Amino acid sequence: MAKFIFDLDGTITKEETLPKIASHFNLQDKIDNLTKETIKGNIPFIESFIRRIHILSQVNISEISNLLENTTLYTKLLDFIHTNPQHCIIATQNLSCYIDKLLQKIGCCYYSSSAITKDDKVVKIKEILKKENIVKHYKDLGEKVVFIGDGNNDVEAMRLANISIASGLTHTPANSVLSIADYLVLSEEALCRQLNQLL
């Protein structure tokens, strides 16, 4: 059976988490443009990520965590994960301290970036997850890996996966993703159907 590795933002969630944080805490002017340019591929993800986290570091971790816990999820996709938790994995470059509560609701194994924290604030990024390393880990264990994503930061993981699915549920996948994907899905129903066929 396959291991399904999902991107989080815009794939399982119906909204991107960083813009959600920015809007709630009135930081959208600083973050929105960074996010858009990163999705388009005009700013390298790592550079953008570091800059965005620096902006968010003024906000308490607990406030961000509580906000993201209530992020809207794709319910049919969530049902698939709840039915097949041992086959589902999330690989996200979001900081674990921000998304732990949200990921607990999703209920499967996950890998994320991490940070050094102090007094409920992010002090420094400790590690930025490389999604392709997660794909490699499971392939090295002899698993057939299916990666589902939509952004430029998913490309290397999708390239390495046995099967890659470009998800167009929230927004149009990046051109780099479309150029290497084995499948393109544009609705939650189509994605769940595809996942069940590959199970």
What are the sequence ranges of the domains in the chain? 2-15+72-198, 18-66
The CATH superfamily of 2-15+72-198 is HAD superfamily/HAD-like (3.40.50.1000)
User: Whole-model pTM?
Assistant: 0.92
Cβ neighbour number for residue 109 with a 10 Å cutoff = 15
Q: Give me the tens of pLDDT residue by residue for the chain, a chain 199 residues long.
A: 899 999 999 999 999 898 889 889 998 887 877 777 776 778 887 888 888 898 899 899 999 999 999 999 999 999 999 999 999 999 999 999 999 999 999 999 999 999 999 999 999 999 999 999 999 999 999 999 999 999 888 999 999 999 999 999 998 998 999 999 999 999 999 999 999 999 8
